[in-house]
Structure 1
Amino acid sequence: MKRTTTVIVLIAIVIIFSAALYYLWKKNQEDPVTYTTQSASEQTIIVNTVATGSIVPEEEVLIKPNISGVIEEVYIEAGEFVKSGDLIAKIRVIPNVSSLTSAKNNIASNQNALRTAEINFNAQKATFDRQKALYDKGVISVNDFDAINNTYLQAKQRVDQAKIDLQQSRQNYDIIKTGTTSGLGNIAQTQVRATVSGMVLDVPVKEGNQVIEANNFNEGTSIASLADVKKMIFEGKVDESEVGKIKEGLPLVITVGAIENEEFDAVLDYIAPKGIAENGAIQFEIKGSLRKIDSTFIRAGLSANASIILDKAENVLAIKEALVQYDPKTKESFVEVEVSDQRFERREVELGISNGIFVEVKKGVSKTDKIKVWNQLQGPPKYSGRN
């Protein structure tokens, strides 16, 4: 029994020993891990953030009428250039019945007042003529004649004032009925003229459309919009996570979707002090003035993207950020540089700006150093302090 047990133990030892030898032999047959290397190179690294928006005129002027009515004629089309004072449209006034009736009644009232004043004046004139004849003969005193004269002059003033009131009421009636009256000439309110020079961007009205005058309680109907298309700005929005990184004066690179293979320089002029909630996120409005666009016609309203340059380093020594490792204890960054065939040593590096792909290396490696590239599937192991 003891002999059988001894034989079984010996056989088990032999099997285990053979399996260990086979494993070691198989391990030695595997190819050793070979790491590729990369070297540092000169790069221009740009750190930016992108804002979406559109191209709009710096100043867009809306032309509105100062009288209500119906468009009788339109003299311009979108795309035309106009000068300040050019005729844009003509309005036919549709009088308000209530206002027209009130104005007509006012004329009748002033006519009655004029007739009454004239009757009184004629009576006072007859009295004045009689008293003057007596005064000339020395029958009445100077004081009595002066009293009669003052009454006569007051009656004459009332007639003159009644004539003025009647004329004003007639002019008011004409304005309500036709929009103009005699004496207004070229400043007639029925003619709408351009207030600035520029391109006509839009003419939202047509002949026959009703328009409302601009007043303290109503902004009025826009007849046309004018703008100087040589002064355009980018208007967009940035997320609250990015707004803290930008400031006025930063350069922008504008790309317009409708204009391929062309970029426009701009400067960030405005960042909204208050954000607006949109789709669950806070957005801040920004504006940037485009520069040197004389050679290219950019239509207002085109969608565009603005690349806001936060930082830039030109022609600096850089490596791919994937080559950089970080010591979990000291939090220092380092790379592994090849010192002989597939032998690497740790080299601490001082890093600069990064765009997520390349990172600037200020100190630690040179162009001739070969830096280990870790296996992309396995990634770099946790650093243990050994080469």
Structure 2
Amino acid sequence: MKKIVKIFISVLFVGLVIFGFVYLYNKSKVKDIIYETKNPSVDNVIQKTVATGSVTPRKEILIKPQVSGIIAELYVEPGDHVKKNDLLAKIKIIPDMVALNAAESRLNKAKLRLEDAQLVYDRQKGVFEQGVIAEAEFQNYRIDYNTALEEVEAAENNLQLIKEGITKKSGEITNTLIRSTIEGMVLDVPVEVGTSVIQTNTFNEGTTIASVADMNEMIFEGKIDETEVGKIKEGMKLELTIGAIEEEKFDAELEYISPKGVEENGAVQFEIKAKVKLSSSNFIRAGYSANANIVLDRRDSVLTVSESLILFENENKDSIYVEIETAPQVFEKRFISTGLSDGIKIEIKEGLTKKDKVKVPQAS
């Protein structure tokens, strides 16, 4: 029995040794690598850059009052279409007490001067009619009387203007009625009835009653990096993608490139503006975010390969080559001349044909 056990252990040991040798041999054996190949193809190569920004009206006007006071009535709300001189709001004037007191005092003084001038005028008129004084002397008294009348009327108008913002002579013309200065759509009304507003003057830009814009003429305002601003120029075509209208593209034409850049997050950005060509089927709201694809250069119907197939000799970009299959899984180095690239595919000027099989560097 002991002899059988020893034989069994010996056979098991020999089997394990043989299995170990076979396993290590198979593991150390180099497997054959099979490389994929791709053929060059004829395609269009378009080099683009993207500018981010928004779509805004070319003409947006902020309507501001010419008098200070309180909003008494509002006649429009955002989204309304208005014409030039349409009524937007009415302001109730809260008179300044110092100015009001001065105006009332001026009126009282003017009335006193008028009473005195009228007494003198009436007395001298009787004397003139009796032929005691000459007409030239009487003329002076008549002028003084008429001047006093004019001063009273001016004082009354001034007092009414301070109180109500309108005079008898002005008729319907008043600064308390706020009207639109252009035809367009009301974009925003940032005030409510009862809001205090300040007039526009040399020291204050005034309170905005409403903003009105022509929505039939929109522009794209965006920014482009300094590394690409030198490649663009006025008149270039843009393709706009608006975030809120993803299914449609809009054409635009570059109109303006800022001569001065602004540093943002460590990079210098230049402002650009482009005229948007609108379609009647879509209504574009002011402030929509948009991306503009600017075509910097393009090559149509040229031989191309994927950039991932391109190799460089000693990291020298002037020595560009690919590996061509000359026999099944046998490759040779071939130097090529390249042109425009869009980051995915690259133009091949010399060195390849459509029939060549180019080695894909990744093994499968």
Tell me whether the two structures share a fold, i.e. TM-score over 0.5.
yes
Distance 2:219 2:143 in 1: 62
Q: 2:146 aligns with which of 160, 165, 177?
A: 160
Q: How does 1:156-235 map to 2 (within 5 A)?
A: 156-235=142-221
In the alignment, does 2:301 pair up with 1:315?
A: yes
Letter in 1 for 2:214: D
Distance 1:376 1:307 in 2: 36
Aligned counterpart, 1:101: 101
CA offsets 1:217-243 (integer angstroms, 9 cap, x no match):
211111111111121111122233332
Aligned counterpart, 1:344: 331
Q: CA deviation at 1:189?
A: 1.6
In the alignment, does 2:305 pair up with 1:354?
A: no
Aligned counterpart, 1:301: 287
Q: CA deviation at 1:287?
A: 1.3
Q: Which structure would you say has the larger Rg?
A: 1
Contact 2:34 2:363 in 1 (8 A): no
Q: Which structure's residues are more often strand, by fraction?
A: 2
Q: 1:333 aligns with which of 294, 302, 320?
A: 320
In the alignment, does 2:79 pair up with 1:79?
A: yes
CA offsets 1:178-237 (integer angstroms, 9 cap, x no match):
111213223222111111111111111111111111122211111111111121111122
Report the secondary structure of 1:107's partner residue: helix
In the alignment, does 2:233 pair up with 1:247?
A: yes
- Normalised to the residue count of structure 2, the TM-score between the two structures is 0.87
- RMSD, aligned α-carbons: 2.3
Aligned counterpart, 2:264: 278
Q: CA deviation at 1:130?
A: 3.1
Distance 1:339 1:47 in 2: 33
Structure 2 portions without partners, runs of 5+:
1-21
Q: CA deviation at 1:89?
A: 0.9
Aligned counterpart, 1:118: 118
Distance 1:284 1:376 in 2: 44
Contact 1:124 1:151 in 2 (8 A): no
Distance 1:26 1:69 in 2: 95
Letter in 2 for 1:210: S
Aligned counterpart, 1:49: 49
Structure 1 window deviating more from structure 2 (184-193 vs 158-167): it is 184-193
Distance 1:79 1:308 in 2: 32
In the alignment, does 2:364 pair up with 1:367?
A: no
Report the secondary structure of 1:374's partner residue: strand
Contact 1:78 1:201 in 2 (8 A): yes
Aligned length: 340
Q: CA deviation at 1:131?
A: 2.9
Q: CA deviation at 1:344?
A: 2.7
Distance 2:123 2:112 in 1: 17
Structure 1 window deviating more from structure 2 (332-341 vs 205-214): it is 332-341
